[in-house]
Structure 1
Amino acid sequence: MKLPIGQSDFRNIIDGNFNFVDKTLFIKEVIEEAPTVILITRPRRFGKTLNLSMLQYFFAPEVRGIPTKGLFDGLKISQETVYEEYQGQVPVISLSFKDVKDNNFEKAYDKIYEIIVDLYQNFSYLQKSDVLLEELKLLYVRILRREANPAQLENSLKTLTECLFDHHKTPPLILIDEYDTPIHGGYLNGFYDEIVSFFRNFLSAGLKDNPCLYKAVLTGILRVSRESLFSGLNHLKVYSVLNSQYSSYFGFMESEVEGLLNQAQMTEKVTDVKDWYNGYHMSDVTVYNPWSILNFIQERGILQPYWVNTSDNELIKTLLSRSSFSFKDDFEELLQGKGIEKLIDENMVFSDLKRNNPTSTWSLFLMTGYLTALDHHHTPRGSLCKLSIPNKEISFLLQRIIEGWFVQDYGLEWYEQFLNSLLRGEMEKFSAGLKELIDHTVSVHDTGRSPEAFYHGLMIGLTASLHASPLYEIRSNRESGSGRYDYAIIAREPQTLSIL
């Protein structure tokens, strides 16, 4: 098998004879979609970039000077009536902001400027167009030569749609990949307001009531609040992980995974693969993590956390470490394989994360793929979702993060010896280790105003590796007899020691 790991260019996959899971009917659904502007949010590595590349190669007559005719021969879309009508008939504006991860606004602005200049260079023939108004042509050249002022750059998307429409007499399709990456960077590095202001003006100019626009498809991980970014875009339709439409095109369906495993002669691995990489519920559709599936097959059946290792997971670590007592308590339920019901707000307001707003934090965990919604229903305040950890890969990551709260300076071997001393009832040895840990890693500043919450979090960290264990059940803050215990490690076998 020739697996397209790391490949996100549709032509490279087709011309390179890579194994391709045919998602081309996605194109038909986009064509038949009524709204002009579509935003699809999914976790990273779920096929967003490849699907936008597929749209570009379908609609554009050529990409980088090479005709697109014939690329879709034999694929599902070629059997549809829309094929002859639309293939190669629409100018395409394709942008990706995946690399705009700078630590200040000036650097981010410069990188965005370069992305737009590169985009304009793809249509350099417009400089010699006989049908463009001279004023519009001069504005195009100013942007191309990096002579545009900030207002002209903010209008550059709209300017290009006008140029293409006037020249081709056909409104263009706009594709924007990872629109939210610069905004995420702005939040982490302290220039959130500036970057949101730029993109609000940039997107509003290009997408709002633009008669020169056919459609626009945007992808990202999060839906940034309409008030901060999409104000005025009344014709915007958002499809998040809580919507079923388009869900079968992002991630692998069970039949597609079985087909890949069959080609790889690994059908005996179906159950393992399901436990480790399945479990993402997109409304009524359940999908596998495609990145992990491809890497699992490439590595000939080695079960590893492939997806989680593609990120430093820093924001998730930070939010977990500074979360409240009740949040940690809920997270403990998740680690035990249980579901919890939480209100989810699909409109992301990054400032709420700084205020430890639990709704925003749970929403971030869901939208980024660290949790999934087993079911949900809409309320006036948002979507009420039953959340759970989707699979073993994510459970492994979250346990590792929690263990890292206090063992990062000691190492895994020390942690295992320390935990085993507790489980064997060697309390003198355990107490000495706990005292050493607290003396060296905990200060009064760590415990803050709620020392109980801190030490409860410490206990979750201490027992993180036990939550998925078939040998123990972890309980906390439960009534027992005439009182309530703080924490209990209950052995499932009567001959094994339990700890209260």
Structure 2
Amino acid sequence: MDLYFVKFLWTTFACLDVRNTIALHEKGGAYAESDFRDLVSLERPFVDKTELIKEIMSNDARVTLIVQPHRFGKSLTLSMLQYFLDKRKAPPNTTDLFNGLKISEDRGFCETYKNRFPVIHFSFRDVNATDFKTAESAVYSIIQQQFKEHSYLLTNNSLNFFSSLQVGMIMNGTSSLETVRNGIFSLCDFLGNVKKLIKENIAVILLVDDYDTPLRAAYMNNYLPEMSRLLSNVLSCLTTSPFVKKGIITGLYSISSGDIFPKRSTKIISVFNDQKIPYFGFTAPEVKNLLQGISSNVGMKDLGEWYGLDSPVTKYNPWSVLCCLANKGALAPYWVRSSDSRLVSNLLSLIGVSEAVSLIYLVQGGIIEKSVHRSVRFEALTSEAEYFWTVLVHGGYLSANFVKEDSSRKIYSLVIPNFEIKNEINHWCRTRLSEAVRKTTGKLAEFVKNTMHGEVEKIMDFLLECMQKTGIYYNFENPAHLGRYYTYYTALFTPLRDYYKITESQTEKNVNMRRRRCYSFVLEPKNYSTVGIIMEIEGANISTDMKKTAEMVLKRMKNDELSPHILTVCGKVLAIGMAFYRQNFEFSYDLIGAQVL
């Protein structure tokens, strides 16, 4: 590969992660460059994403939270913002890096924002300790380093005696922990409380990278409450400081732990809205431009199948595309092998068979519908299965399209977007699921066969085994939470969708003189020689009531008007009433023939 091609890829600005713009090692590997100036200064072609600056600075939100998968451009975006906004980066201190770029075409915007602000820029990337004390020390070191970077405050006569003393003590490590904890707030005060800046209505820009890394590490190591409180203190300036104009924060997840960001003045750029904000990932025209002049056998179709992020393909995984081109068009897993997947691995070892079945179905090319949240609650990861899917969507492993809103929950259709991720998730299913889940999902083919043949006892044995071995993940302790059983079985029936049209329903019925929400499933076979199934579920107050409750449910089903369509098209239909108590159930059933109509 010639030198020009190496430098071309090295300088490709794709709004990638700090580690995301690559060059080649002598042995064909890739390394990364982090600084926007280094990327632009070689004056090679690159993908111009500078209009993102206007998108961020023109919105009214006090905080812009950029939530994107790893290696999608978050860190390099902050580097770009610093060079554009920081008054210390103005020429002649730094050459004009934006001359000729898209953002320079808007002269009015540049006159208003370019190199006008005091900027604080730091990253929490390395705060991933296994204990709180070590993590706290790492956070304090970051704050101390920020004061050292702005040590010019001690010499430009902008501080009074006591403020100068505070800056000096934080820099040399002699201040109290409380003073350091509030150090970023104080630094914003010192930088923004300057007569000239106040007169010009100019305040501090705060750039914080990888804000959620400390929180993820805290969750994995059981000190999440302490870390949430610490970050809320450290970043309190985002909500209360009059000297902060705007905060731009990046992370892998939007996390709902603590009150770090102002609830009413935070704009989130995430996988849920980035179709309208095409600054993260490569668009199809950008990939075509990269392919021009490059000697490679790989084409747009190949890149779309391996690294596309949606269907039809309009966006591409930037890290994988660049790695592929840098390796002479070799289609291989690049992005999935570059991430810290400890959180996902931890969840895979905890999930139950319902989620495992859905993963297997996705690998087989299926599409599932799940409730997905805009933010992650770490406290609920091990008790509410929908947060498992939330982590996968935010992490970039699944693409999500909004379907409907159901009982205040947003339902999305989920699909594996490309070959690279499909192979990785298939690897998860083979190696990372718990032993109990692997053993249970190994019986799926037998479960499907028994269902099609109407072998009720065998069907129920399988369902009961699933619940007793892996149901603890779903927190079935409260019998009032009947919806959790409904969600569980909706996923567990996923492999049957190749053979049945499955209709799930929630209806209000009179049960024991009271209106109650009832949950049912209708499995209409695509091959009408197969047995059809109508199932309704109910909760029992105590375990000894399960059998009686199941019989009552079946009787109610037979008294109600069963689906006339399925009774017409199927020779035989199983009506099954089920009653649950925690991780157990009883059932009652009857085989109904078409002749009863």
TM-score, scaled to structure 2: 0.66
C-alpha offsets along residues 395-446 of structure 1, whole Å, 9 cap, x if unaligned? 01001111224899xxxxxxxxxx9xx9xxxxxxxxxxxxxxxxxxxxxxxx
Q: How far off its partner does 1:69 sit?
A: 4.1
The match for 1:196 is 228
1:60 aligns with 2:86: yes
Q: Equivalent of 2:375, from 330, 347, 350?
A: 347
1:279 aligns with 2:309: yes
Q: Equivalent of 1:25, from 51, 60, 68?
A: 51
Distance 1:248 1:482, change over 3 A: closer
Tell me the secondary structure at the aligned position of residue 228 of structure 1: coil
- One-letter code aligned to 1:180: D
The match for 1:328 is 356
More divergent stretch after superposition (154-163 vs 136-145): 136-145
Q: Equivalent of 1:96, from 119, 123, 129?
A: 123
Distance (Å, rounded) in 1 between the aligned partners of 2:429 and 2:90: 47
Tell me the secondary structure at the aligned position of residue 263 of structure 1: coil
- One-letter code aligned to 2:271: V
Q: Equivalent of 1:219, from 250, 262, 269?
A: 250
More divergent stretch after superposition (329-338 vs 214-223): 329-338
1:15 aligns with 2:47: no
Distance 1:43 1:312, change over 3 A: closer
The match for 2:260 is 230
Q: How far off its partner does 1:384 sit?
A: 1.7
The match for 1:308 is 336
CA contact (8 A) 1:376 1:385 kept: yes
The match for 1:35 is 61
Q: How far off its partner does 1:243 sit?
A: 1.3
Distance 1:89 1:452, change over 3 A: closer
CA contact (8 A) 1:46 1:289 kept: yes
Distance 1:74 1:389, change over 3 A: same
CA contact (8 A) 2:216 2:343 kept: no
C-alpha offsets along residues 215-274 of structure 1, whole Å, 9 cap, x if unaligned? 11001010110x523365432222221113773111111110111011324475110000
Tell me the secondary structure at the aligned position of residue 67 of structure 1: coil
Q: How far off its partner does 1:114 sit?
A: 1.4
Distance (Å, rounded) in 1 between the aligned partners of 2:75 and 2:530: 58
The match for 2:320 is 292
Q: Equivalent of 1:164, from 191, 199, 207?
A: 191
The match for 2:154 is 127
Q: How far off its partner does 1:374 sit?
A: 2.9
Distance 1:397 1:268, change over 3 A: closer
Distance (Å, rounded) in 1 between the aligned partners of 2:92 and 2:332: 39
- One-letter code aligned to 1:345: H
Distance (Å, rounded) in 2 between the aligned partners of 1:29 and 1:452: 46
Tell me the secondary structure at the aligned position of residue 62 of structure 1: helix
How many residues are aligned here?
Answer: 427
More divergent stretch after superposition (312-321 vs 102-111): 312-321
- One-letter code aligned to 2:159: L
Q: How far off its partner does 1:153 sit?
A: 2.0
Distance (Å, rounded) in 2 between the aligned partners of 1:181 and 1:285: 30
The match for 1:242 is 272
Distance (Å, rounded) in 2 between the aligned partners of 1:452 and 1:244: 36
CA contact (8 A) 2:90 2:115 kept: no
Q: How far off its partner does 1:366 sit?
A: 0.4
Q: Equivalent of 2:75, from 49, 52, 67?
A: 49
CA contact (8 A) 2:359 2:425 kept: no
CA contact (8 A) 1:266 1:301 kept: yes
Q: How does 1:94-493 map to 2 (within 5 A)?
A: 94-167=121-194, 169=197, 170-204=202-236, 206-225=237-256, 228-230=258-260, 232-244=262-274, 247-266=277-296, 269-280=299-310, 286-355=314-383, 357-377=384-404, 381-405=408-432, 450-451=468-469
CA contact (8 A) 2:70 2:339 kept: no
The match for 1:85 is 112
Distance 1:319 1:163, change over 3 A: same
Distance 1:378 1:134, change over 3 A: farther
CA contact (8 A) 1:61 1:67 kept: no
Taking only aligned residues, the RMSD between alpha carbons, in angstroms, comes to: 3.1
C-alpha offsets along residues 75-121 of structure 1, whole Å, 9 cap, x if unaligned? 11111131133211111100111111111111111111111111111
Distance (Å, rounded) in 1 between the aligned partners of 2:116 and 2:246: 13
Q: How far off its partner does 1:74 sit?
A: 0.9
Distance 1:203 1:234, change over 3 A: farther
Distance (Å, rounded) in 2 between the aligned partners of 1:118 and 1:67: 21
Distance (Å, rounded) in 1 between the aligned partners of 2:403 and 2:267: 19
1:75 aligns with 2:101: yes
More divergent stretch after superposition (155-164 vs 320-329): 320-329
C-alpha offsets along residues 136-173 of structure 1, whole Å, 9 cap, x if unaligned? 22222222122232322221111111111124623111
Tell me the secondary structure at the aligned position of residue 175 of structure 1: strand
Distance (Å, rounded) in 1 between the aligned partners of 2:126 and 2:218: 13
Distance (Å, rounded) in 1 between the aligned partners of 2:149 and 2:261: 30
Tell me the secondary structure at the aligned position of residue 69 of structure 2: coil
Distance 1:213 1:380, change over 3 A: farther
TM-score, scaled to structure 1: 0.78
CA contact (8 A) 1:200 1:229 kept: yes
CA contact (8 A) 2:349 2:432 kept: yes
More divergent stretch after superposition (17-26 vs 314-323): 314-323
Distance (Å, rounded) in 2 between the aligned partners of 1:339 and 1:406: 21
Distance 1:323 1:406, change over 3 A: closer
The match for 2:541 is none
More divergent stretch after superposition (233-242 vs 376-385): 376-385
- One-letter code aligned to 2:388: T
Distance 1:453 1:337, change over 3 A: farther
CA contact (8 A) 1:68 1:88 kept: no
In structure 2, stretches of 5+ residues that fail to align are 11-21, 23-31, 436-441, 446-464, 473-496, 503-522, 534-597
Distance (Å, rounded) in 1 between the aligned partners of 2:45 and 2:347: 38
C-alpha offsets along residues 166-224 of structure 1, whole Å, 9 cap, x if unaligned? 246231111001100010000111111111110012222x1113210121100101011
C-alpha offsets along residues 268-300 of structure 1, whole Å, 9 cap, x if unaligned? 51100000111248xx99421111011000001
Q: Per chain length, whose mean CA-contact separation is higher, i.e. which structure has more relative contact order (CA < 8 Å, sep 6+)?
A: 1
Q: How far off its partner does 1:387 sit?
A: 0.9
CA contact (8 A) 1:187 1:350 kept: yes
Distance (Å, rounded) in 1 between the aligned partners of 2:227 and 2:91: 33
Q: How far off its partner does 1:64 sit?
A: 11
CA contact (8 A) 1:344 1:359 kept: yes
Distance (Å, rounded) in 1 between the aligned partners of 2:417 and 2:215: 27
Distance (Å, rounded) in 2 between the aligned partners of 1:453 and 1:192: 25
Distance (Å, rounded) in 1 between the aligned partners of 2:405 and 2:261: 22
